[in-house]
Structure 1
Amino acid sequence: MAGFPGLFPAGVLPALLLWVSMWGSPASGFSVMGPAQPIKVSLGADATLPCQLSSEQSAAHMQIRWYRTQLSPAVLVYQDGQEQDGEQMLEYRGRTELVEDSIGRGAVALLIQHVRASDDGQYWCHFNDGHISREAVVELHVIGLGSAPHVRMMGPEDHGIQVLCSSGGWFPKPRVQWSDTAGEKLLSLSEYQTQDGDGLFHVEASLVVTDSSLGNVTCSIQNPVSGQEKASAIFLPEPFFPRTSPWKIALAGTLPVLVLLLIGISYIGWKEHKAKNGEVEKKKKASHERDKVAREKEEAHSLKRKLEEDLEQRKALYNKDWKKALIYPDWRKEQFERVLVIENHENVHQNNSDFRKEPQAVLCKEQGGGNLLKLDQKGFTKGRHYWEVDIEDTDEWTLGIYEEPTEKSELLSDLQKMKFNVLEKKGCEYRALTCSRQGIFHKESLPIEKCPLKIVIFLDYEDSDISFYNMTDETHIFSFTHTNFSGSVYPYFKLKSMEFSPSA
């Protein structure tokens, strides 16, 4: 901030001379003052940036210019008693106004309506009176408070469970912190922040929890300017944590028993061959060994039963909250109705009445659009269904579902009206697509490490959820969760990638 000094109480003569000079020419000496602290405004609200002449005098005859990094083009220019649009920056047109209610006392303010993230930063308030110009800087901090964190389990990872926290709509770049129920901070495994076209930040942070006794973990996201934060917690049931296979434990207990039994029998046979004098003693020892083996076998069976009961308990907990758990696809199948996938034969349904017991998808190489799957019904319009497809080690394929809308349109063909939610493989690259024949609405690359040979697809019509699982290693691949079904849904599979019209 620049300016000339005002009146001082000490030094009567200098003060008197300065007062006479300012009285004779009011504009010959003035300075500009701005607020001492930054102006903080929420995203989308209106911001008022004040500016004041010192000493107090009218600024109505002056040129007043608000600018960012250079004088022209400017945020707002006021001259000859009105705002001048010729030098105004495009992004501020229609959103700014000079508040001049107190311009007669040298006080003005810049009003910015519907504040954006790009409005954040410094503004210069510049007064010009003939050959004299002074200015001051005003700092504007824009505060964007994003959405509540979405926290979900991603599956087993490094002897624990990986948890992902995501949120969008923040400005400036937010801070992410994980904590347990005791308030202890936990270190993130990874954190990614990206900006959208409006300059708002989207954040994703992951955490691997290996302590099954933690119970809840909380993801907190804080705005660094305002200190405001939003937090969400997730409960991690202890049975969801990876454990040693019960069959390995049972085998580890049974194998030493079998070794001991073999040693005992060999020892008894050798003793009988060596000398008959100790026949009675050897029989007693053999009987003792057999009793010991029987007890150990019974203990092994008891341990096995206990492990099976524990497995049932874990399964019961899974069934209570299976929608949030993206693991154990074989257990998930129990919540859905199975759809068989069989080879296409013309008379398969006439000759085998067993196939009529449940909906079937038939391999059909003459289906429109290259689809190799065809339902033995009008399509899914409700309920939960799943089907499995053996894709083997194929270099290129497309697998998922398509939807035919209920309302018919004469402007589009049947293929053009279809909406697809599919996984696509080309070579070693995988991606998820939401598209039609005209183009892609959404696409996302998928980091699949182990090539799937068989994929199971779960369709929940009411929840608008389509989930894909790799049955080669029983891991979750991807879920479409923002699809709203309104028509009939059909399985879709072909040995090519998606093809779009030339106009797409």
Structure 2
Amino acid sequence: MKLKSSSFSGYCVGFLLLQVMTSTSEKWTVTIPTAHLVAIVGGQTELHCQLSPPQSAKYMEVSWFKGDHSKLVHLYRDGHEVKGEAAPEYVDRTEFVKEAIGEGKVALRLHNIRVSDNGTYQCSFKDSNFSSVASMDLSVAATSLGIQILVHPPNTKGLLVECNTGGWFPQPQMEWRDSRGEIIPPTSISHSQDTEKLFHMKMTLLLKQSSHRNVTCCLRNPVTGQEERTSIVLSDQLFPWNLIWRLILGIILALLVLFIMVPSIDLYDRLQDCLRKMRNPIVVGIIIILLSIGVIASLISYLHHKIRVPASDPHFQLDTMWLEDITVILCVLTVFITMIISFIYFRFRGKWDGK
């Protein structure tokens, strides 16, 4: 009896030791050297994973999934790569790197990176008794295809400058800056995505005066931190309304200086005499010119400050063309009416003088 009891006890101890050794040899985990990767559209990247402690994974099942095991990217099983089970978008774009598979180190090389590859991936190892999974994030980025700045024809609203660029992912940060590097608030920012989910950006800036002659369109990729910028120097000739206002102001100031600085001209008496007799052609001509300039300036000021559609509105160009046409028509009518008034005055002045 004692022999049987001791034999049974030894059998139990051996069985427990075997279980401990077996469980110890089976307990391993999957680790990754980098939890967050950044890849550029059109390039390639490698998703590395390995066993810890190191051991051969030659006859294990190794697989990569995107998301929560919802989309198979690549599968290795029983010493061979299994073709035809991966998701269609990954066919012919993956390569299994297994030079160090004897140490439990493998990698999946992903070629021709697309925007759709952005997301979380899982690397899974599995044998007949145990399995383990590790996750990693892949952030896809794309730089621009170039930045283009367009300058629209000036109008009474101001000068519209437009910055266009495409081929970005994710959506970039976009802003205008002046020559000192300070941010200029944009008039509008819009974006769209093409079939490959790349962002195309459009930003406009309406300049009402020539204080910002040097403007820069700046874009920054939030993933890579890469910045791209393009500058343009605007000529004063692109701000014709500034020149018009300066010309009008200069004429008015010149006339005022003429009447004030010349001592032989008594402005008050001459105006009183003109209003009383209306026979002085110089004063009448000056009054007509000043009235014409005042009417034109008032009309331009009214049209310029009248509430109109914003620059971001699709009908902005149509509204601008209408505004320019109306301004030209009003200016022509004002000049025409001025000529008629002058003609009538000088026509009847001869009759007045003959009386």
2:107 paired with 1:109: yes
Question: 1:192-219 deviations in whole A, cap 9, x for unaligned?
Answer: 1111111111100111223413321000
Question: 1:261-312 deviations in whole A, cap 9, x for unaligned?
Answer: 4422456x6xxxxxxxxxxxxxxxx9xxx8x969x96xx99xx9xxxxxxxx
**Structure 2 residue corresponding to 1:86, chosen from 81, 84, 87:** 84
2:272 paired with 1:263: yes
2:33 paired with 1:38: no
- Contact 1:158–1:208, Cα closer than 8 Å, also in 2: no
Aligned to 1:186: 184
Aligned to 2:46: 48
**Structure 2 residue corresponding to 1:449, chosen from 312, 318, 334:** 318
Deviation at 1:254, TM superposition (A): 9.4
Question: 1:212-258 deviations in whole A, cap 9, x for unaligned?
Answer: 13321000111111111111111111231222457755785699989
- Contact 1:175–1:222, Cα closer than 8 Å, also in 2: yes
Taking the aligned partners of 1:471 and 1:171, their CA distance within structure 2 comes to: 40
Match for 1:146: what amino acid?
S
Aligned to 2:69: 71
Deviation at 1:85, TM superposition (A): 2.1
Match for 1:92: what amino acid?
Y
Match for 2:233: what amino acid?
F
Q: SS at 2:69's partner residue?
A: coil
Taking the aligned partners of 2:47 and 2:221, their CA distance within structure 1 comes to: 22
Taking the aligned partners of 1:233 and 1:107, their CA distance within structure 2 comes to: 49
Question: 1:132-188 deviations in whole A, cap 9, x for unaligned?
Answer: 221111111222111221012123367531110010111111111211111111111
Taking the aligned partners of 1:246 and 1:197, their CA distance within structure 2 comes to: 51
Q: How does 1:449-468 map to 2 (within 5 A)?
A: 449-450=318-319
Taking the aligned partners of 2:318 and 2:93, their CA distance within structure 1 comes to: 50
Match for 2:89: what amino acid?
E
Deviation at 1:43, TM superposition (A): 1.4
The TM-score normalised by the length of structure 1 is: 0.48
Taking the aligned partners of 1:114 and 1:249, their CA distance within structure 2 comes to: 63
2:109 paired with 1:100: no
- Contact 2:274–2:283, Cα closer than 8 Å, also in 1: no
Unaligned runs of 5+ in 1: 1-17, 270-285, 305-444, 454-469, 476-504
Match for 1:200: what amino acid?
L
Task: Name the CA shift for 1:83/1:187 in 2 (closer, same or farther; >3 Å).
Answer: same
Taking the aligned partners of 1:71 and 1:133, their CA distance within structure 2 comes to: 14
Q: SS at 1:156's partner residue?
A: coil
Aligned to 1:126: 124
Aligned to 2:303: none
**Which protein is bigger by CA-based radius of gyration?**
2
The TM-score normalised by the length of structure 2 is: 0.67
Q: How does 1:35-434 map to 2 (within 5 A)?
A: 35-71=33-69, 73-156=71-154, 159-241=157-239, 242-243=241-242, 244=244, 249=249, 261-266=270-275
- Contact 2:161–2:206, Cα closer than 8 Å, also in 1: yes
Give the count of matched residue pairs: 278
Taking the aligned partners of 2:110 and 2:238, their CA distance within structure 1 comes to: 52
Match for 2:191: what amino acid?
Q
Taking the aligned partners of 2:103 and 2:194, their CA distance within structure 1 comes to: 43
**Superposed structure 1 runs of 4+ greater than 6 Å apart:** 18-22, 253-260
Deviation at 1:95, TM superposition (A): 0.5
Match for 1:227: what amino acid?
G
Match for 1:231: what amino acid?
R
Deviation at 1:448, TM superposition (A): 5.3
CA RMSD of aligned residues (A): 4.0
- Contact 1:149–1:220, Cα closer than 8 Å, also in 2: no
Task: Name the CA shift for 1:260/1:78 in 2 (closer, same or farther; >3 Å).
Answer: farther
**Larger RCO (alpha carbons 8 Å, 6+ apart):** 2
Taking the aligned partners of 2:327 and 2:20, their CA distance within structure 1 comes to: 85
- Contact 2:65–2:73, Cα closer than 8 Å, also in 1: yes
Deviation at 1:51, TM superposition (A): 0.5
Taking the aligned partners of 2:19 and 2:123, their CA distance within structure 1 comes to: 25
Deviation at 1:117, TM superposition (A): 1.1
Q: SS at 1:234's partner residue?
A: strand
Match for 2:165: what amino acid?
S
Taking the aligned partners of 1:107 and 1:237, their CA distance within structure 2 comes to: 62
Q: SS at 1:226's partner residue?
A: coil
Match for 2:273: what amino acid?
G
Aligned to 1:312: none
Question: 1:438-471 deviations in whole A, cap 9, x for unaligned?
Answer: xxxxxxx876535989xxxxxxxxxxxxxxxx98
Question: Which protein is richer in strand relative to its size?
Answer: 1
Unaligned runs of 5+ in 2: 1-15, 260-266, 294-313, 329-355
- Contact 1:152–1:234, Cα closer than 8 Å, also in 2: no
- Contact 2:63–2:123, Cα closer than 8 Å, also in 1: yes
Q: SS at 2:113's partner residue?
A: coil
Match for 1:150: what amino acid?
Q
- Contact 2:67–2:119, Cα closer than 8 Å, also in 1: no
